[in-house]
Amino acid sequence: MSRVMVAMSGGVDSSVAAALMLEAGHEVVGVTLRLWGGESDSGCCAVSDVDDARRVADTLGIDHHVFNMSEEFDQHVVEPYVAAHAAGLTPNPCLECNRHIKFDLLHRRVEALGFERLATGHHARVVQTAAGVYRMARAVDAAKDQSYVLHMLGQEQLAALDLPVGEMTKDEVRQRAATLGLRTATKPDSQDVCFITQQHGRQDFLRQRISLTPGRVVDADGNELGKIESVEMVTIGQRKGVATVGGADPRYAIAVDVPSATVTVGSAADLLVKVTPVKNFTWAEEPFAGPVLAQISAHGQPMEAELAGNEVRWAQRQRRVAPGQAVVFYDGDQVIGGAIAG
């Protein structure tokens, strides 16, 4: 049996993950990361979540500690999120939190404190190929699968990672929590970005940190159709604020240019492309080129494509991927790598 550190967010999945690792005979210690010091109502970074995690640990009879990583979270997640919006990109802060905080800083803390393994409550699975290569794989519960946001993990991290609830459906997780008498059994799942409140929203959050730029809306020929309050708030494919500007037909944002304060709009057909440029690759093992299944959102459908250099070439036209978003590559249900749309 191993010494296992369980990352406990205060939600039902990580609560059951801790219980399952304990049932398997491991020496288990729970830890909760204090990441965001501001307001939070998402059910992820709130003070109440730390209390829920501590009480679950007490119920299970395991030690519980809180690691303050708020400075690192601000440096690696919040500041890049703001900078990306300022550049007209569409960032995914949860992905960057996994990349830099949970599976880098925390992974190193696991090793430094003499633990052998890290366990989390993510709905995904770690599998090993016949050649001994570790890969992230889709969860049993397809509706809750989180392999997309864990695509950046490499061999060192995967080899020391346990994802016990990845073999269960969400209903089974909640049933197990209820059987164990855990206070998180009926707790709602966390939603949205943990450092942006539903009350104030993304625009207020960004306005406190950067100057938002009023802009103009143009068609593909450069004809001005109207105005928009902030170009930094627009993402590719967006209809809100641009849907009917300049005419009755629905329009979508197909390009955002912050330096010129311009949003270009077009029809639904204008959103479809055959090629998506990508950069900043990460791989489970070795770089790959050739046919893949590519997924462009956390719960999107994987689509047939060919990976060639810095391009994803779609078998069928797909919606444009907003620059800054991840494109994740699968071999069947196993992640082989990912990249960021450029």
Contacts with 111 (C-beta within 8 Å, 6 or more apart), sequence order: none
E-strand stretches of the chain:
3-7, 27-34, 63-68, 117-119, 125-128, 134-137, 161-162, 215-218, 224-228, 252-257, 262-266, 272-283, 290-295, 303-308, 311-319, 326-331, 334-341
Report the catalytic residues: 97, 194
Q: Are 172 and 144 in contact (CB under 8 A)?
A: no
Q: How many CB atoms lie within 10 A of CB 181?
A: 10
At 321, list the tokens: 């991927």
Helices (H), the chain: 12-23, 47-60, 70-73, 79-86, 93-97, 106-112, 155-159, 170-179, 201-207
Q: Are 263 and 218 in contact (CB under 8 A)?
A: yes
By three-state DSSP, how is residue 203 classified? Answer: helix
**CA 108 to mean position of chain CA atoms:** 20
E-strand stretches of 133-259:
134-137, 161-162, 215-218, 224-228, 252-257
337: buried, middle or exposed (CB in 10 Å: 19+, 13-18, 0-12)? buried
